[in-house]
A and B are shown apart, each in its own frame.
Chain A
């Protein structure tokens, strides 16, 4: 990776010390420069707009929450790409964050590959390498492959609902919802919900 030419920092905002240190260690091991922040307030304190940087932001923070920080930055017109990190069950908030402009989101605990992929997406943006946008036509074609039921499930997924909630709402088993989800991912050629939101959200 051509790191010297594309120099940038990653702000990691995470209140849990172990998570913060381990994530920074992983990113550092991969050659990225990290700035560790234990709260939104600390980030605001340490943020240097002059530097090229993006942020990995835990949404659950004491004091100012991740979403509030994102809103705050939007208001300040600070254009820093944000990868949000959530615990399982906070997907609705993650979806909210995606709609508010976050570039990707990672669910904890996340595999190394998933983290690196998100870093690649975010850093790409810093250098105007936008993720290859799938054309609208292709999206429409893919959507047409979905059954009515799958489209219904997709709708719920985009609202950030959990499998369990969708199952209860559609009166089917969770396993069935999981099946629908996997087929939706295949047909839409999406890796996860973040891709789906980017395509149709």
Chain B
């Protein structure tokens, strides 16, 4: 709280203005005890208005003053205060002691065990206000027609000024923080207060309470002398006396010194105000200023009061409508976005698409959307992204708003300019996703008027007092760097938007998670297919290679035999007939041609180069094992994969090595089919210059005579395939400049292979 606020609180708030013990001089006050009807209090100016001096009537019954008939009538009146209460004048006549007739306009009301009668001079003839056709038309056409709050306030100010003829009529609207803004003005003067803001302290809480309870206040002459009210004991009935009189509902109540000063500082001589009260809350104020004394006739006063209360009701309706409209617009936008998201569009794109509409709706200039790790900026945002972490502490049901963000998080000048105020909408439970709306500071949106003057003055008693003239400056000081607050209407709209966005984001997150899962599954399937394809292609290539090798043997033998045969004939001195010689040579050539043919077929089928890259063997081994387990039909199988996470990467073809692992694991699993104990252990270890993979099982093992041939094609022992699995493994491992071998074991079989560690990658 600023020092200025404190000054205000220690003075105005302490003043018990309803115990001021005095009235303004344009009327007289008489208060009776509600039960005994004895006159307990009178203002000292009674003689002028009712023809009796205070001494004459104090302690006398009311009937002594106004006669039996009037007194009886007064007792029948419903005099308890009600708010808001339209003025109900009683035009009264009674006789003075000297026999002349007094005609007065009386406003009676009951309060706190007393009935207070306020007497005014009657109007010579009632002003033809309401009766005036034009006024009626004006009220109906100008006041009832506007659909906009500002238009209505304008019309109201204009009409009231027409009726009371003041120099200036302003309509204040109080914000949630109780500060006031002039939303409409009708004036004959050159200067204008329209759009100006006043701090909440301008109308201290006691005054605010009085404005709510006593809606009409007329001060025809600011600087008139106050007229004291005296009690039967002769004391002035103010706050210092033993029996003060409560003037809460009095129309004549004298003006508090601070208010006199306030108005004087503005050069105002006469003032009138009508409270705009909705739902027992002070919504606003019609403040009328005149720069010379001005007494308004009762009938005009009453008409102005009627206009004021009509305006109140209409304003409330309009405001409700505006709130409803904002809410409906928010719902419409949320609904549109929801529909689009459900039809597959991204929430982020939609918020971006609707950004300007949303920002206009909730009256902000910038927006930051953090969604799914991406940041979107729209409108006026700081160059350097703000960290909203601390602001999150303010979250209440997923929403935090502030009109002064710099008091919550640390900000640089640029950030302060764009983000004086902010509203944060939480879009996920984990705090990862959120939407922030930024409001610039009031400095940029409000037209400042006047220069700051002295904010406080010292009165004759040495007490610091607020100079109302400086209030606008004070307000601007108070507001510096702050934004327009996020009011109830906007907060409602934010709630609507947040509810929709949060739900849609949850939905979208689920969808993304599901997609990711699907993608992972698809990737696994693709890998499996790649491995199986490779297996098939490799098998075919290996088969072709094996056939080529195996066929080459007999072809070689045939060529050798034929050549040997020819040589033996020569050795035996048999002259080979020329044609027979040609045939022998043809036979040899044909074996070569057959060999060539086999090679071509093999070359055609065999896959080309290895697609090597630096791979993490742990991962590739795990994939191979996993793949083998997919088709494994041993429910009790235990699998241990002992990885060494420190191994360097090796230059190898991941698909081919995966293939080797798949084959080895499959062989092991097949060998354990009838074993009681089924354990498959795969170890990855590093050795000097190599990474070694060892696959051991608890299966039937491999007999020594078979072990010799297991890496040869077509020597099937364990598998029901063609018997080229291990031969293929050897081809692959050797193509990687590695080695594969078999070790005898007490139980089961151990097959190992090792791959060289490339020096390039691992140094």
Contacts and interface: CB of A to CB of B under 8 A. Distances in A.
A16 interface: yes
Contacts of B599: 88-89
Interface string A15-35: 010110111011011110000
A90 to B, nearest CB: 9
Interface stretch (B450-458, B521-529, B555-563): B555-563
B29 to A, nearest CB: 113
Interface stretch (B364-372, B588-596, B621-629): B588-596
Interface in A1-48: 16, 18-19, 21-23, 25-26, 28-31
A108 B603 contact: no
A108 B595 contact: yes
What is the predominant secondary structure among interface residues of chain A facing chain B? Answer: helix
A87 interface: yes
B557 A21 contact: yes
B605 to A, nearest CB: 11
A25 B603 CA distance: 31
B591 A109 contact: yes
B708 interface: yes
Interface in A156-200: 162-165, 168-169, 174
Contacts of B566: 29
Contacts of A108: 552-553, 555-556, 595
Contacts of B603: 162-164, 174
A109 B552 contact: yes
Given A18-B557, A23-B560, A29 B571 contact: yes
A164 B608 CA distance: 8
A174 B268 CA distance: 108
Interface in A99-158: 108-112, 115
A172 to B, nearest CB: 14
B148 interface: no
A21 B588 CA distance: 17
A112 B552 contact: no
B69 interface: no
A87 B567 contact: no
B586 to A, nearest CB: 13
Contacts of A111: 559, 563, 588, 592
A168 B607 CA distance: 11
Interface string B528-561: 0000000000000000010011001111111111
A22 B552 CA distance: 13
B548 A87 contact: yes
A165 B609 contact: yes
Nearest to A22: B560
Contact of A30 (B567, B591, B608, B609): B567
B597 to A, nearest CB: 11
A89 B546 CA distance: 11
Given A88-B548, A112-B588, A164-B603, A19 B564 contact: no
B545 A89 contact: yes
B557 A16 contact: yes
Interface string A38-66: 00000000000000000000001011000
A8 B660 CA distance: 45
A175 to B, nearest CB: 12
A162 B609 CA distance: 11
A108 B598 CA distance: 12
A18 B591 CA distance: 15
A163 B606 CA distance: 13
Contact of A62 (B556, B564, B709): B709
A89 B559 contact: no
Contacts of A109: 552, 555-556, 558-559, 591-592, 595
B602 interface: yes
Could you say which of B563, B592, B595 has the most chain A C-beta atoms within 10 Å of its C-beta? B563
A56 to B, nearest CB: 11
A26 B552 contact: no
Given A111-B559, A165-B608, A89 B564 contact: no
A25 B565 CA distance: 8
Nearest to B550: A16
A88 B595 CA distance: 9
B608 A26 contact: no
Nearest to B593: A109
A31 B708 CA distance: 35
Contacts of A63: 708
A27 to B, nearest CB: 8
A89 B557 contact: no
Contact of B708 (A19, A62, A168): A62
A22 B561 contact: yes
Contacts of B557: 16, 18-19, 21-23
B616 interface: no
Most buried by A among B560, B592, B708: B560
B563 to A, nearest CB: 4
Given A62-B709, A89-B602, A165-B608, A26 B560 contact: yes
Contacts of A62: 708-709, 712
Contacts of B561: 22, 25-26
B568 interface: yes
B549 A87 contact: yes
Interface string A69-101: 000000000000000000111000000000000
A60 B558 CA distance: 19
A110 B559 contact: yes
The 3 closest A-B pairs by CB, nearest first: A22-B560, A29-B567, A18-B557
Interface of A: 16, 18-19, 21-23, 25-26, 28-31, 60, 62-63, 87-89, 108-112, 115, 162-165, 168-169, 174
25 contacts: A19-B557, A19-B560, A21-B557, A22-B558, A23-B556, A23-B560, A26-B561, A26-B564, A26-B567, A28-B564, A29-B564, A29-B566, A63-B708, A88-B548, A88-B599, A89-B545, A89-B548, A89-B599, A108-B595, A109-B552, A111-B559, A112-B559, A112-B560, A164-B603, A168-B609
